C-alpha cells in the first residue's frame, strides 16, 4: 500500500500502479464523493440552472504549513472566495497537485485531509484532479491548482464599474493577518502574540451581505496579494471614481501593527485570505455592516471610507494625524527595511 | 479606549503643527538625515502641513541609496563569478540596478541569493548547509552594525567555517561633516535618526553644534515624534540656540548603548568609504579587523572593485546631498518609477525618490 512508502517517489507520477494507489489511497479516500468515485478522466454532473461562474488559481506557499492553515486549506478557500466575491455559490472544485519528489507522504496526507475538511465544511465537492511529480529540487515541496464552478442566482451583477459616489467601503475584518503569519513563521520571527492566518471560506459571509443588501452591493473582492490598497486601486480604476479611506478606521491587529513597525511593512499591502472588501450603497451600509458583524468571519467588520465623485480615479487616505495622501498600488513586493 | 487614543494622537499632531506655525518666523532649511524619517514625513503628509518658510531637505540616510555604484557592480560581479556561493542580503538591496543587472536578476539567472531579515538569518543558512560558503552583503548604518558584529562573534564561537561578511557599513556623523564641508548647501539644523543614535548616543553630534553652529534634535519615527522634533529644532533656531536635544528620550541617551559600541569595536574598525553621489569620505566606513580576517569576505574571496558608473541621467547624487528634490530629476516619475527604477533612491522604501513618488504625486 501507499502507506508503506513514506515519501513521494517519481514513480508516483508515472501513471502506473504507484500513481493509481496514490490516487485511490490518498486523494479519492479523503475527497470521497459520488462524482469523484468512478475515478474517470472527468466528473459528470447535471448542469445547474442559471448562470455559472468558473475560476482557477494556483497556490504556492512557503512553508506549506503555517499558523492558522496550510497550502491545502488555502487552495480550497482561495477558489471558493474567488467565486464568492462574484456572488456565486461554489459547487464543484478540481484539485491538481504538483509534488516534489521526496515530500514525506504524511505531509501530503495532512494537506489532503485539510482540503477535504475545508471542502466538507464549506459544502463543496472536489470532483476531479490530477497529480504530477517533479524531480527533487525542481519544485518547492508542493504546488496545488484548484479550479471551481459556482452558480449565480437571479440577475446579480457585481462589477466595480457600478460603483457610485456616496457608496461606502466596508472591510470584513482586520488587515494583514495572513501576510504577517506567513512571514513571521517562515523567518522564525518570534512575537509576543503570534498571528494566525485568517484563511477561511467566505461564501456564506458574501451570501449574508448580499441577502441583507440585495440591491445595494456594488462590488466585492478578497484582498489577497497586494492587500487592501491594491483592491481599492482596482475599484477606483474600473469605476473611474475616487475612493477616500480613513487610516484610523481600518482594523489592524495590534500584533500585526507591531510586526509591520519592526519590519517596515505596511499592513494595507499585506495579503489576507479570509477577508472581504465590499462597496455598498449609502442606504445599504448599515444592513451590510450588521450582516457581516453577525457572521463568524466578519466580527471586526468596519466602514473604512467612501466613494467620491472624482476627478481622478485614485485612492486617498486620511492618515492617523489628520493629513491626506495618495494610497498607491504596491509595486513589486514589500521587503524588510534596513534601518 | 483605542478610539480615544487615536483621537488624541490627531489632536496632538495638529496642535504641534499649530505651535510650529505660531513660533516660526525665519526661513530655515532642516535636513532629516535618515531615510525612515523621510518615509514617515512623506507618508503622513508632514511636509505639506509645515509653513512655507520651513524647508525640509532629505539627506543621505538610506543605506541602500548611499551604497556606491562601484559597490553595487562589485556585488553583481561577485555573484556572477561565484554561483556556488550563497549570498545573503537585506531587503531592498535586491532591486538596486547596477550597470548591467540587479541582484534580483542575478537570482533569476541562477545565483543563490537570499533575502534575510537579520544577520542571524544568514548564519542559519550557513548552519544548515555547512558544505557551502555563505556571504552576507552587509549594508547599513550604526543601527545594524552591532547585530552583524554579534553574529560574527556567534559564528566564531560555534566554529562555523563557511560564513563570511562583506562589510559595506557606513557611519553617520562623518557623512554629516562631509556634507557641511562641501559648502554646497545651507543647512540650519539636523533632525537626527532615532535608531542610529540609540547606539552611538546624541553626544556624537556635538561637533555639529560647536564647529558648524548647527543645532540637532534626535527624533523617533512615529509621525508625532517627527513633528515634535521639527518643533524643537524650529524653537532652537528661532531662539538662536545651538544645542543637541533629544526628542526620542524613551530610547536615546547622551552616551548611547555602550555595550553595542563595544561589540561593534571588537569586530570592526573605521575605514574610508565610497558614498553614492558624495564620493570617498574618510573614516565613514567600517572594515573587519584583522583578528576576524577569516570571516572577511573581502579577503577570503579577494573581491575586486566594481565599475563606478552612475546610471545615465540619474540625479541620485544631488538628491542624496539634499541639493534637489526628486521632482527636479528629469527622469522622475517618467523613465524612473518604483516598478522600473533607474537609481537606488527610487528602489528602497526609504529612498527619497520612492517616498516622493509614493506619497507626493498630486495628493
Ligand atoms: S528619480 Fe530616479 S533617476 Fe532621478 S534621482 Fe531619483 S532614482 Fe535617480
B295-344 confidence digits (pLDDT tens): 999 999 989 989 998 888 999 999 999 999 999 999 999 999 988 999 99
Q: Do B350 and A324 touch (CB under 8 A)?
A: no
Query: What does the alpha-carbon distance between residue A286 and residue A288 come to, in Å, rounded to a whole number?
Result: 5
B144–A321 C-beta distance less than 8 A: no
pLDDT attached to residue B3: 47
Dist CA B194 CA A339 (whole Å): 10
**From A322, A334, A339, residue closest to B140, measured CB to CB:** A339
**pLDDT more than 90, % of chain A:** 79
- pLDDT, residue A192, reads 82
**Higher pLDDT among residues A121 and A311, named by residue:** A121
pLDDT value of residue A118: 98
Ligand 1 probe mutation, B320, B329, B337, B352, most atoms within 8 A of CB: B329
- Counting from 1 in the atom list of ligand 1, the atom nearest the Cα of B315 is 5
Atom of ligand 1 nearest to the CA of B343: 7
Q: Find all residues with CB under 8 Å of A231, minimum gap 6, and list them.
A: A221, A223, A277
Is the CB of residue A313 less than 8 Å from the CB of residue A239? yes
Quote the CA–CA distance of B134 and B151 in Å, as a whole number. Answer: 13
Quote the pLDDT of residue A15: 84
**Partners of residue A338 in chain B, C-beta under 8 Å:** 62-64, 90-92, 139-140, 144, 348, 350
Q: Do A325 and B359 touch (CB under 8 A)?
A: yes
State how far the Cα of A259 lies from the Cα of A179, in Å rounded to an integer: 11
Cα separation, A193 vs A195, in Å, equals 6
Helices (H) and strands (E) in chain B, counts: 16, 11
**Backbone φ, ψ for residue B286 (5° rounding):** -135, 130
Rounded to the nearest whole angstrom, what is the distance from the C-alpha of residue B343 to the centroid of ligand 1?
Answer: 5
Chain B residues whose CB is inside 8 A of the A324 CB are 45, 363
Atom of ligand 1 nearest to the CA of B344: 7
User: Cα(B324) to centroid of ligand 1, in Å?
Assistant: 11
Mutate to test the pocket of ligand 1, among B66, B72, B331, B339 (most ligand atoms within 8 A of CB): B331
Range with the poorest average pLDDT among A27-31, A332-336, B44-48, B95-99: A332-336
CA of A297 to the centre of ligand 1 (A): 44
The mean predicted confidence, pLDDT, of chain B is 93
- Chain A partners of B92 at a C-beta cutoff of 8 Å? 335, 337-338
Q: How many angstroms separate the Cα of A29 from the Cα of each of A36, A96, A117, A135?
A: 10, 16, 12, 26
Give the model's pLDDT for residue A3.
Answer: 52
Of B42, B46, B117, the CB nearest to A187: B117
Lowest mean pLDDT among A239-248, A307-316, B293-302: A307-316
Tell me which chain B residue has its CA closest to the CA of residue A187.
B117
Q: What is the pLDDT of residue B350?
A: 84
Q: Decide if pLDDT at A263 tops 80.
A: yes
Q: What is the pLDDT of residue B6?
A: 58
CB contact under 8 A, A335 and B349: yes
Residue A309: the pLDDT is 87
Protein residue whose Cα sits closest to atom 1 of ligand 1 = B332
Interface test with A, best of B4, B11, B105, B117 (most A CBs within 10 A): B117
Contact A250, A228 (CB under 8 A): yes
How far apart, in whole angstroms, are the C-alpha atoms of residue B128 and residue B134?
11
Q: Which of B94, B34, B85 is nearest to B58 (CA)?
A: B34
Q: Which residue has the cell 569576505?
A: B297
CB contact under 8 A, A339 and B349: no
The b/e string for B113-129 (b: 16+ C-beta within 10 A; e otherwise) is: bebbbbbebbbbbbeee
Asked if B115 lies within 8 A of A331 by C-beta distance, the reply is no
The pLDDT value recorded for residue B5 is 59
Mean pLDDT of A220-227: 96
pLDDT digits (tens, 9 = 90+) for A174-223: 999 999 999 999 888 888 888 999 999 999 999 999 999 989 999 999 99
Distance of alpha carbon B330 from alpha carbon B24, whole angstroms: 33
pLDDT at A322: 85
CB contacts < 8 A, A to B, total 104
C-alpha B317 to ligand 1 mean position (Å): 9
Torsion on CA atoms B333, B338, B339, B342, rounded to nearest 10: 70
pLDDT tens digits, A123-179: 999 999 999 999 999 999 999 999 999 999 888 889 999 999 999 999 999 999 999
> What length does chain A have?
339
Instruction: Give the chain B residue nearest A318 (alpha carbons).
Output: B44
Ligand 1 centre to CA of B212 (Å) is: 30
Q: How far apart are CA A233 and CA A221, in angstroms?
A: 12
Which three three-digit cell numbers place residue B128? 544548515
- Of B175, B173, B224, B241, the C-alpha closest to B49 is B224
**Residue B256 pLDDT:** 95
CA–centroid distance, residue B346 to ligand 1 (Å)? 6
Is A320 within 8 Å of chain B by CB? yes
Which of B66, B67, B345 should be mutated for ligand 1, with most atoms under 8 A from CB? B345
Pocket of ligand 1 (CB under 6 A): B 314-316, 319, 326, 329, 331-332, 336, 342-343, 345-346, 353
Those residues of chain B that have pLDDT short of 70 are 1-8, 361-363
pLDDT tens readout for residues B164-176: 999 999 999 999 9
Grid cell for residue B245: 536635544
Instruction: Please tell me the predicted confidence (pLDDT) of residue B166.
Output: 97
Substitution site in B317, B321, B326 for ligand 1 pocket (most atoms within 8 Å of beta carbon): B326
Residue A339 has pLDDT above 60, yes or no: no
- SS3 for A171-229, per residue? ECCCCCHHHHHHHHHHHCCCCCCCCCCCCCCCHHHHHHHHHHCCCCEEEEECCCCCHHH
Residue A1 pLDDT level (bands cut at 50, 70, 90): very low
Q: Assess: ipTM above 0.90.
A: no
A63 upstream amide cis, omega within 30 of 0: yes
Q: What pLDDT sits at residue A262?
A: 79
Amino acid at each position: 500500500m501507499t502507506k508503506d512508502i513514506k515519501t513521494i517517489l517519481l514513480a508516483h507520477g508515472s501513471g502506473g500502479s504507484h500513481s493509481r494507489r496514490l490516487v485511490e489511497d490518498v486523494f479519492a479516500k479523503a475527497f470521497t464523493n459520488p462524482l469523484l468515485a468512478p475515478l474517470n478522466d472527468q466528473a459528470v454532473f447535471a448542469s445547474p440552472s442559471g448562470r455559472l461562474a468558473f475560476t482557477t488559481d494556483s497556490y504556492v506557499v512557503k512553508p506549506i504549513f503555517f499558523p492558522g492553515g496550510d497550502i491545502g486549506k488555502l487552495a480550497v478557500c482561495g477558489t471558493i472566495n474567488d467565486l464568492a466575491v462574484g456572488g456565486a455559490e461554489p459547487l464543484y472544485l478540481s484539485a491538481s497537485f504538483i509534488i516534489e519528489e521526496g515530500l514525506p507522504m504524511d505531509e501530503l496526507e495532512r494537506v489532503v485531509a485539510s482540503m477535504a475538511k475545508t471542502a466538507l465544511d464549506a459544502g463543496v465537492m472536489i470532483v476531479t484532479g490530477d497529480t504530477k511529480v517533479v524531480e527533487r529540487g525542481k519544485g518547492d515541496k508542493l504546488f496545488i491548482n484548484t479550479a471551481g464552478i459556482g452558480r449565480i442566482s437571479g440577475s446579480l451583477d457585481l462589477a466595480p464599474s457600478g460603483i457610485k459616489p456616496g457608496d461606502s467601503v466596508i472591510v470584513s475584518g482586520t488587515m494583514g493577518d495572513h501576510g504577517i503569519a506567513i512571514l513571521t513563521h517562515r523567518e522564525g520571527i518570534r512575537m509576543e502574540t503570534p498571528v494566525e492566518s485568517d484563511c477561511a471560506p467566505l461564501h456564506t459571509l458574501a451570501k449574508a451581505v448580499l441577502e441583507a443588501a440585495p440591491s445595494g452591493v456594488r462590488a466585492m473582492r478578497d484582498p489577497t496579494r497586494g492587500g487592501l490598497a491594491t483592491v481599492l486601486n482596482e475599484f477606483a480604476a474600473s469605476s473611474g471614481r475616487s475612493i477616500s479611506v480613513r487610516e484610523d478606521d481600518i482594523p489592524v491587529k495590534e500584533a500585526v501593527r507591531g510586526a509591520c513597525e519592526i519590519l517596515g511593512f505596511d499592513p494595507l499591502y499585506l495579503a489576507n485570505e479570509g477577508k472581504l472588501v465590499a462597496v455598498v450603497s449609502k442606504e445599504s451600509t448599515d444592513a451590510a455592516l450588521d450582516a457581516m458583524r453577525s457572521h463568524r468571519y466578519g466580527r471586526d467588520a468596519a466602514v473604512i471610507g467612501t466613494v467620491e465623485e472624482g476627478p481622478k480615479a485614485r485612492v486617498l487616505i486620511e492618515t492617523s494625524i489628520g493629513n491626506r495622501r495618495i494610497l498607491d498600488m504596491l509595486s513589486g513586493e514589500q521587503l524588510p527595511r534596513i534601518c | 479606549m483605542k478610539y480615544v487614543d487615536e483621537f488624541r494622537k490627531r489632536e496632538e499632531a495638529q496642535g504641534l503643527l499649530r505651535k510650529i506655525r505660531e513660533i516660526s518666523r525665519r526661513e530655515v532649511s532642516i535636513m532629516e538625515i535618515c531615510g525612515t524619517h523621510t518615509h514617515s514625513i512623506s507618508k503622513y503628509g508632514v511636509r505639506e502641513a509645515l509653513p512655507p518658510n520651513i524647508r525640509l531637505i532629505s539627506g543621505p540616510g538610506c543605506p541602500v541609496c548611499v551604497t556606491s555604484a562601484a559597490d553595487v557592480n562589485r556585488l553583481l560581479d561577485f555573484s556572477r563569478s561565484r554561483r556556488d556561493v550563497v549570498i545573503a542580503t537585506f531587503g531592498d538591496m535586491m532591486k538596486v540596478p547596477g550597470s548591467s543587472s540587479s541582484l534580483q536578476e542575478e537570482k533569476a539567472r541562477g545565483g543563490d541569493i537570499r533575502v534575510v531579515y537579520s544577520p542571524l538569518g544568514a548564519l542559519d543558512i550557513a548552519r544548515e548547509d555547512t558544505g557551502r560558503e555563505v556571504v552576507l552583503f552587509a549594508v547599513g548604518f550604526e543601527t545594524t552594525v552591532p547585530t552583524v558584529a554579534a553574529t560574527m562573534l556567534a559564528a566564531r564561537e560555534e566554529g562555523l567555517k563557511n560564513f563570511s561578511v562583506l562589510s559595506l557599513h557606513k557611519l553617520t556623523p562623518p557623512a554629516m561633516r562631509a556634507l557641511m564641508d562641501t559648502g554646497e548647501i545651507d543647512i540650519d539644523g539636523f533632525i537626527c535618526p532615532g535608531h542610529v543614535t540609540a547606539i552611538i548616543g546624541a553626544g556624537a553630534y556635538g561637533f555639529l553644534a560647536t564647529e558648524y553652529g548647527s543645532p540637532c534634535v534626535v527624533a523617533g519615527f512615529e509621525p508625532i515624534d517627527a513633528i515634535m522634533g521639527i518643533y524643537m529644532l524650529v524653537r532652537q533656531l528661532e531662539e538662536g540656540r545651538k544645542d543637541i536635544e533629544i526628542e526620542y528620550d524613551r530610547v536615546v541617551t547622551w552616551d548611547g548603548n555602550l555595550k553595542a559600541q563595544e561589540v561593534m569595536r571588537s569586530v570592526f574598525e573605521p575605514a574610508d568609504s565610497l558614498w553614492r553621489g558624495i564620493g570617498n569620505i574618510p573614516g565613514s566606513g567600517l572594515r573587519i579587523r584583522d583578528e576576524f580576517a577569516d570571516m572577511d569576505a573581502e579577503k577570503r574571496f579577494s573581491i575586486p572593485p566594481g565599475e563606478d558608473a552612475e546610471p545615465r541621467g540619474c540625479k541620485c547624487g544631488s538628491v542624496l546631498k539634499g541639493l534637489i528634490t526628486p521632482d527636479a530629476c528629469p527622469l522622475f516619475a517618467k523613465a524612473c518609477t518604483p516598478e522600473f527604477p533607474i537609481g537606488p533612491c527610487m528602489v528602497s522604501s526609504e529612498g527619497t525618490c520612492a517616498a516622493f513618488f509614493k506619497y507626493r504625486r498630486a495628493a
